[in-house]
Amino acid sequence: MPIAYTVGLAQRYVAGLLHAFGKRAYFARDIVRGLRDPGTWVPETIRQMRNIGVDSVPLAVIVAAFLGGVTAFQTRYQLFPGVQMSVVGLIVRQSIVLELGPLLTALVLTGRVGARMTAEIGTMRVTEQIDALETLSFDPVGFLALPRLLAALVMLPALTVLANATAIFSAWATLVTATDVRTDDYLLGLRLAFTSFQVIYSLIKAFCFGAAISFVCSYQGYVTEAGAEGVGRSTATAVVIASVSILVLDAIVAAVLAPFIQA
């Protein structure tokens, strides 16, 4: 009996997992299908680029500025005596550009942008606005999910570039004003072993993170149920799933592309 019960639980779990995967696959198919009607998604994409990118600039800059300062302090005071100060610039650049810049920018924006996406679409679902769009033969996925996906794919890399630059500048300002690291040493470390693929690597991560945030949050909003309580539940679920997805994608990209960073 216990064995049969365990097998039954496993079967239900696998069936539920496949069902959830299938629903998201159909949603992704509908997003791709929405590309056939540019008149539906182009104007909304421009508006979403402002909401996701331009309106998030202050938050991204503030987070990056503190990130750069903390990274600089931690790097400088963890060095062994006798180590060249140029190593600080190298470690700061690698830490920010390859990992902390894109990752923390995406995680912070998940709370701001992702939650907003889910709440907006979820509210439209529970107030039957999406049903009204379907009644009018208007593609709701092409109008709601596709513009947010395209905007996130463009603006997350742009915000990551801004965050990386801000963090590196903040690290320099912190080092030269609060430690014994000189500007020449810091700049030498920034140039040490630098390759253009390191920037591309950072942008690839940002691109993947933007796709994860927009897809997960749009989907959770689209399937919202049970009124205002359902909107809150969907928003919380979307932020958690998107955050975990970002961490998983971060590990996958690192495992696949990290060996080529110094190539």
Q: What integer is the mean pLDDT of 236-253?
A: 94
Q: What is the pLDDT of residues 50-92, one digit of tens each?
A: 999 999 999 999 999 999 999 998 888 887 777 788 888 999 9
Q: Cite the DSSP H helix spans in the chain.
A: 2-33, 38-52, 57-77, 86-95, 101-109, 115-126, 129-135, 140-178, 183-191, 196-222, 227-257
Q: What is the pLDDT of residues 133-152, one digit of tens each?
A: 888 878 888 889 999 999 99
What's the Cα-to-Cα distance from 154 to each of 64, 82, 157, 210, rounded to whole Å?
Answer: 19, 44, 6, 8
Question: What one-letter code names the amino acid at 75?
Answer: T
- More confident of the two residues 225 and 118: 118
pLDDT at 93: 93
Distance from C-alpha of 234 to C-alpha of 224, rounded to nearest angstrom: 6
**pTM recorded for the entire structure:** 0.91
pLDDT at 173: 94
Residues 6+ apart with CB under 8 A from 114: 213, 214, 216, 217, 238, 239, 242
Q: What is the pLDDT of residues 152-181, one digit of tens each?
A: 999 999 999 999 999 999 999 999 998 888
pLDDT at 227: 78
pLDDT at 128: 85
Exposure string over 124-139, b if 16+ CB within 10 A, otherwise e? bbbeeebeebeeeeeb
